[in-house]
Structure 1
Amino acid sequence: MFALVVRFDCRDEAAAAEFDELTARAVAQITANEPGTLLYATHHVEGEPLARVFYEVYRDRVAFQAHEDAPHVREFHARKNPLLVGEPRVEFLTPAATKGDFS
């Protein structure tokens, strides 16, 4: 299993709305086309209306790389950048005690 958390900070409310639309389209494609993506959860941050956090779990690093190479993910990355302030914060995780079936 391979997991990560990514935080994005949007420029303003209009950028956040566009980011959310891009995210919804990407998640639909991830759901339909990525069997190695076990969990792809997107969140709004309570009290920070311009912040978004993604929690992603992949079968392994190969599945993560397949995700990164997918056309819908490449398009998401290209289109999201103008909507953000600064660089996304990415934290790669080493799973420990877990509840849930990620097989």
Structure 2
Amino acid sequence: MYILMVRLKVKEDRIDDFIAASIGDARGSVLNEPGCRRFDIIQAADDPTSFAFCEVYNDEEAFAAHTTYSHFKEWDAAVKGMFDGDPEVSFCKPVFPRGDANWDSHRANIVDDPYFASSLHVIHAPKFVQKDKVEAFIDAVSLDGVGSTHEEPGCLRFDVYQNVKDPTEIYLYEVYANPDAFEYHKGTPHIRQWVETVKEMYDTSRDGGGRVGRNVWPPDNWAWSSGKPTW
């Protein structure tokens, strides 16, 4: 898998325009590109001008192909002038799950109704780790991922990605059924163990800039769950 974790900030008066253009690109990517597995759009709850994308492709070649499609070119032209600052893009590989998992977001024959839009709670957060602690951090967070997806009814996915150009940047991509499910997650024994294990592993000289908020697209009734993946 070749994964893009994108963070963007949009001018306040262009939010609706940006959402419309981005949904067009995301829908076109998932429905028309054989190498695009998912293209999730997240809007931060504490700052509606802050967005994040999680784009999952089969490989780097599939991402390169993505940039040749008309829906991407239309998006690229439409959003010029909408950004408040340059987008930040991390090119990543998955480190959890490594075994069997559900990656595809599309589900056939779903009910297409506004009722199913945007009730999930999604965390899109980079973590910066000391160079000599990277493998230990990955081991610890992967154990947390197993606990979260296997033991929590409200945790739909808990993916861990590593920046291929900067291995000390580890992305957490967590999807919960609702904010209450995330609150439940914070009290579990596996998260308590993980917090204790990794507390001295962070590179505190670098800041995160993650996004926590709703799913703009796809809707709630698409395939958000990773299943019960193995490590």
Q: TM-score, normalised by structure 2?
A: 0.42
Uncovered stretches (5+) of structure 1, i.e. residues with no partner? none
Q: State the AA in 2 paired with 1:56.
A: E
- 1:53 Cα deviation from its structure 2 partner: 0.2
- Note if contact 2:30-2:38 (Cα within 8 Å) is conserved in structure 1: no
Give the secondary structure class of the aligned counterpart of 1:35. coil
Q: Distance in 2 between matches of 1:24 and 1:48?
A: 19
Q: Distance in 1 between matches of 2:16 and 2:5?
A: 21
Aligned residues: 102
CA distance in structure 2 between the partners assigned to 1:45 and 1:78 by the alignment: 24
Aligned residue number for residue 88 of structure 2:
89
CA distance in 1, matches of 2:64, 2:31: 17
Alignment of 1:1-103 (within 5 A): 1-12=1-12, 14-98=13-97, 100-102=101-103
Identity %: 26
TM-score, normalization by structure 1: 0.90
Contact kept in structure 1, 2:30 and 2:37, CA below 8 Å: no
* Larger Rg, first or second structure (1 or 2): 2
What are the Cα deviations for residues 16-54 of structure 1, in whole angstroms up to 9, with x where unaligned?
110001012222211221111011111001201101100
SS of residue in 1 equivalent to 2:96:
coil
SS at match of 2:81: helix
In the TM superposition, residue 83 of structure 1 has moved relative to its aligned partner by 0.7
Using the TM superposition, give the Cα deviation of residue 67 of structure 1 relative to its aligned residue in structure 2, in angstroms. 0.6
Q: Distance in 2 between matches of 1:7 and 1:21?
A: 17
Partner SS, residue 77 of structure 1: helix
Deviation at 1:101, TM superposition (A): 2.5
Between stretches 90-99 and 2-11, larger displacement belongs to 90-99
Structure 2: segments with no counterpart, 5+ residues: 105-231
Distance 1:97 1:31 in 2: 22
1:2: how far off? 0.4
Q: Which has the higher contact order (CA 8 A, sep 6+)?
A: 1
Which 4+ stretches in 1 moved above 4 angstroms?
Answer: none
Per the alignment, in what secondary structure is the counterpart of residue 52 of structure 1?
strand
Larger deviation, residues 21-30 vs 37-46: 21-30
Deviation at 1:60, TM superposition (A): 0.5
What per-residue deviation string (whole Å, max 9, x for no partner) do you get for residues 46-91 of structure 1? 2011011000110001110111111110121121121111111101
